[in-house]
Amino acid sequence: MESDKRRNAVKDAIEQTTKPISASALAKQFSVSRQIIVGDVALLRAQGCAIIATPRGYVMESKESGEGVTKTIVVTHRPEDLQDEIYTIIDLGGAMIDVIVEHPLYGQLSGKLHIFSRYDADRFFEKLKKKAINDCIQQGILADYLKHKGSEVTNMLIAEYSYEEDIQVK
């Protein structure tokens, strides 16, 4: 299949589904690699197609206003309250479409979240934990800790950190 025809077929497949469809599923459907599909979607988006990448796959941006109610929830919370906040919204039937953060220097910053379930939320939190650990390592914040307890850092990525357990290890 020629690349232009495949791209149109990929666009049609995304438009016709009501649920997110992964790049891997599309790759299997069109007998190409996942990277080819990711490139096709990037080209389609560059051409103006309203394709959104969610944690579960690609969807077309909905232009219909009758699909449900969209509300903005304004909160000020501590970082440790974020998980409970997202779980509460999800458990009550809501979804986290995007986030807008007021930054003191840059003003409003926004990003798409597309969190529709606890599964999506858990994947989001895992990415958040890994990024925090990597940022600390890159900035040398955990350098001394890593010298003495390298394997514990890996375990911290998997489980929640416990100060009491850390003291026992020493």
User: Which structural domain range is residue 23 located in?
Assistant: 3-60
Same domain, 48 and 88: no
pLDDT of res. 65 = 42
For residue 160, pLDDT beyond 70: no
User: pLDDT category, 7, cuts 50, 70, 90?
Assistant: very high
* Domain count across the chain: 2
Share above pLDDT 70 across residues of the chain, in percent, rounded to a whole number: 79
Same domain, 50 and 90: no
CATH code of the domain in which 91 resides: 3.30.1340.20
Same domain, 53 and 23: yes
Q: Identity (one letter) of the amino acid at 65?
A: S
The helix-helix angle for 23-30 and 3-16 (nearest 10°) equals: 130
Per-residue pLDDT reduced to its tens digit, 36-48: 999 999 999 888 8
User: Is 143 part of any domain?
Assistant: no
Same domain, 56 and 74: no
Same domain, 55 and 7: yes
Same domain, 16 and 49: yes
**What gap in Å lies between CA 93 and CA 91, rounded to an integer?**
5
Same domain, 52 and 74: no
